[in-house]
Amino acid sequence: MDKKIAIIAVAVVAIVIVAAFAVTMMSDNSDDDTIYWLAVPPVNQKDQIAQGLIDGGVSWEPYCSDSILSGDAHALIWSGDFWPNHPCCIVAVNNEFAEDHPELVARTVAAHMEATDWILDTIENKDTNPDNYTNLLQMGAAFSGRNTSVVAASLEHMTLLYEINDQFKDYLVNFTEDFIDLDQTTDAAVTARGYSSVEDFVDTFVNDSYMETAATLSKSDTIVGTVRLGFLNGDLHQFARVVASNVTMWEGTAFEGKNLFTQWGVDITSPSPYANGPAVMLAFDTDVIDMGYLGSPPAIVKHLNVNTANSDIRIVAQANVEGSAIIVNNDIQSIDDLGGKTLGTPGPASIQHLMLLAFAEAHGFKIKLSGT
């Protein structure tokens, strides 16, 4: 029996040795010419920067401004300074649904357009009509769970719009080619979807005819139909949806009791908000939603890779351009300081991740997954 106890003792010692070995293996081998990335949801980046778990992050609004106003971080570069007017969030629709219900889609887009115009007008006239501006900030704060100061700062760093132009399409072509280079999708996937080229894909994928129709429609006293609409949790790039869903702003007007969607004859039902664009695409693919707000990169990647009727979507409007940033802790003061540092990103197939890759390459950094 003593022999067995000795064996157990040896086993325990062996375990301790293995553990010690593993601990030595986790020693940091960071290189100064490399930026390390880690998948960290934007909502968690502020806390993780403050705790020192990551040195910074690439995030969207309101999380960029939230980190900055907390005092624990600052913006090293805003996405608009790196990629001027780059597309970000868009409004997408399942193609089959759009073909079956073109007017309903156009009416939803009309509500999106009016909400966007209202926000832009409110920001422009915030000094002459402060009530509307306060209301806007409060709507954003309630939706994002951040205070009104964060919402106000967020609005300064992104441009809300809905128009689709050639620059938008050019960006999408570039993004798609980047994703092919990164093996996140393939030329074969483009072909399998029935497109002859990346340009052909983008031309088909972007459909601004619903906006043209929307411009010819007028509001409706009756509900034309129901749209199941997906959106991201707390993402202020999708502020137009928040405003279009608000009822209280119409109190005392002819539209009392109705939000912008219902004014345009659309009954919106929404499942729980989604954490990120890929999750919205999964909702499309599982036939949980008909339309959705999401980032253009996940829309591209998953439309191409997941070759199903449900994932056959079209971009019918933009929601915003710019509005992301590389946020870093206060020890990092310049781009050169990024060497050997770890930045959180929402993960591959996000505009923030793609921007970090391009930014690192532009400044001569290699980029690696943290811990590798």
Half-sphere exposure of 286 (CA within 13 A, CB side): 9
Query: For other proteins, which is the closer residue by CB, 115 or 301?
Result: 301
Instruction: Give 299's contacts (C-beta < 8 A, 6+ positions apart).
Output: 90, 92, 277, 281, 313, 315
Query: For other proteins, which is the closer residue by CB, 22 or 254?
Result: 22
d(CA 361, CA 40) in angstroms, rounded, equals 21
d(CA 128, CA 141) in angstroms, rounded, equals 22
**Interactions with other proteins, residue window 20-59 (CB under 8 A):** 22, 25-26, 38-40, 47-48, 51, 53
Give the shortest CB-263-to-other proteins separation in angstroms: 36
Judged by CB under 8 A, which of 6, 142, 188, 369 binds other proteins? 369
> b or e along 57-73 (b: 16 or more beta carbons within 10 Å of the residue's beta carbon)?
bbbbbbbbbbbbbeebb
Give the shortest CB-98-to-other proteins separation in angstroms: 21
Query: For other proteins, which is the closer residue by CB, 179 or 210?
Result: 179
Six-digit token string for 275: 């954490």
- Classify 101 as helix, strand or coil: coil
Distances in whole angstroms, Cα of residue 183 to Cα of each of 191, 299, 348: 15, 16, 11
d(CA 60, CA 67) in angstroms, rounded, equals 11
Give the shortest CB-113-to-other proteins separation in angstroms: 30
Query: For other proteins, which is the closer residue by CB, 17 or 247?
Result: 17
Judged by CB under 8 A, which of 87, 140, 230, 348 binds other proteins? 348
**Interactions with other proteins, residue window 180-199 (CB under 8 A):** 182-185
Judged by CB under 8 A, which of 88, 281, 317, 332 binds other proteins? 281
Contact positions vs other proteins (CB under 8 A): 1, 4-5, 8, 12, 15-16, 18-19, 22, 25-26, 38-40, 47-48, 51, 53, 182-185, 278-279, 281-282, 285, 298, 301-302, 305-308, 311, 347-349, 367-372
